[in-house]
Chain A
Amino acid sequence: MGTDRASARSVVFAPLDPHSRAETVVRRLSDAITFGLLADAEQLPSESDLAAQFGVSRVTVREALVSLRHQNLLETRRGRGGGSFVRAPADSSLRARLSELSLPSLRDSTDHYVAIAGTASRLAALRATPEDVKRIEDAASGPPHRVERTFHLDVAAAAQSARLAREEVRFGAELGTLLWSPVIQPDQATCDPRDEHRAITAAIADGDGDLARRLTEEHIERAVERLVNLHLTLVEP
């Protein structure tokens, strides 16, 4: 699944899932701004257009824009030619973090993480009780990085491994918000990450450790591929 700039940009304005609120709008726009998908001084669509595109109320959009203004990521100009304009931060966290990462170190970190999460899934298939499986199935809602964090943490817990769970927490803090950033999630219409979660959970419930591991590895590798592609678009001149 390629993540060129254009398709990444189209995801920025894709409709939101019904659980999301202003916070998701804030995160999506702030990630897009910090990743540079929305350029400095670029004008955002109007409040009503944004509300229509995100599939949320104008009140929600307004709340999100206020928050982005507080973060100095947006500037509002009044009057003729007014509106909300992007203020790209000089040293924005996500973008800076992503472009400072070398591809070899990104590959190394994600290889490590694939090993952790894949093994957690295999062990979970051997050790999970039906109650553990139910816990994994009770998907958290909210932005993707939080859904992913909860899912993989619950899998590591079902593996009965405190160390693997600690590695999950550490990875989530280091790279989780980058890897699962809403702006590089696949188009939900064609590929819902929760379908991938459901397939992994089914393999765990069946006690099929090899399948659970393979599906988990593929799930993460697809996300890594999207992140690497985005990284490459950012470092291009």
Chain B
Amino acid sequence: MGQMTTRTSAPAGSALADHLTSLVEETFGAADHLRRQVESLLGPHAVSADLAAVRPEVTATLGGLITGAGVITTPLADGLHGLEWWMGRSPAPTRLALDLDPDGDDFSDIGRQQWFTVPRDTGRRHVTGPYVDYVCAEQYTLTFTVPIVRDGTFAGVAGADVFVGDIERILRPAMRAVGAPVAVVNKQGRIVAGNTAHHITGSLIREPHIRAALLAGVAQTLPEGVTLAPCGGDLPLAVLTWP
């Protein structure tokens, strides 16, 4: 994950990276709030129906950039996953119904979903996407999840969804202010938002040296003059600026 070691004197795009970092931290803050609520509920005999108690907290999370939020636990005392994930806005949010039965025709295998598996496998928070979220809202989405822990072991995730289109809209003035071709990308080189047709949302940075720099996640100016400004903390997001 990126460490803020050698940020040079206010490189191009660093203000945009700071703006993005604060948006993301705010979203993670909402996810973390839900995590704490759930962890306080999960006694040794908790069953899936007990999660209904966090519903008001979950639906209160919706709004602003957040279009979906909730918690999904590993199977509880009744053998069922706890699932309180809501989408849309107040006053009429909709509850996500997931077919978690492996034999069902519409089975959603959360074991194949990064937003679930990465917090499970690393014990750390994770930014999934941009990706096509065909499990929930069928939208191009970023999902921010944190692990839920019970008795020191992984017990599920709490998280929030943000539509990529909403992020693009909100970052547009800051991207324009850079005054050069700029793109917000994830660690794999997937473009979240850009201000040129060449770097449009969803496309992939192909140049190997830029991809390598993204994986390293260190603020720097590359040989051809491309500047990389990583987001703060452990966030797998960065801003690229072309000369």
Contacts and interface: CB of A to CB of B under 8 A. Distances in A.
Q: Do A and B come from one complex?
A: yes
A160 B130 contact: yes
A159 B138 CA distance: 14
Contacts of B134: 153, 156-157, 162, 165-166, 168-169
A135 B112 contact: yes
B138 A165 contact: yes
Contacts of A156: 132, 134
Contacts of B130: 160
Contacts of A140: 109
Given A160-B130, A160-B140, A131 B103 contact: no
Nearest to A156: B132
A160 B188 contact: no
A127 B202 CA distance: 7
Q: Is the interface of A mostly helix, strand, loop or mixed?
A: helix
Contacts of A153: 134
B138 A169 contact: yes
Interface in B180-219: 188-190, 201-204
Contact of A165 (B105, B112, B132): B132
Interface in B99-136: 103, 105, 107, 109, 112, 130-134
A129 B130 CA distance: 12
Given A23-B103, A146-B105, A129 B132 contact: no
B139 interface: yes
Interface size class of B (residues with CB under 8 A): 20 to 34
Contacts of B103: 23
Interface in B60-75: none
A138 B190 contact: no
A167 to B, nearest CB: 10
Contacts of A109: none
A159 B201 CA distance: 12
Contact of B138 (A135, A145, A146, A162): A162
B112 A160 contact: no
Nearest to A157: B132
A135 B112 CA distance: 8
Report which residue of A126, A140, A162, A165 has the largest number of chain B beta carbons within 10 angstroms of its beta carbon: A162
A93 interface: no
A161 interface: yes
A163 to B, nearest CB: 9
Given A129-B188, A161-B202, A166-B134, 4 more contacts: A127-B202, A159-B132, A162-B132, A165-B134
Interface of A: 23, 126-127, 129, 131, 135, 138, 140, 145-146, 153, 156-157, 159-162, 165-166, 168-169
27 contacts: A126-B204, A129-B189, A129-B204, A131-B188, A135-B112, A140-B109, A146-B105, A146-B107, A153-B134, A156-B132, A156-B134, A157-B131, A157-B134, A160-B130, A160-B131, A160-B190, A160-B201, A160-B202, A161-B132, A162-B134, A162-B139, A165-B132, A165-B134, A165-B138, A166-B138, A168-B134, A169-B138
The 4 closest A-B pairs by CB, nearest first: A160-B202, A157-B132, A165-B132, A162-B140
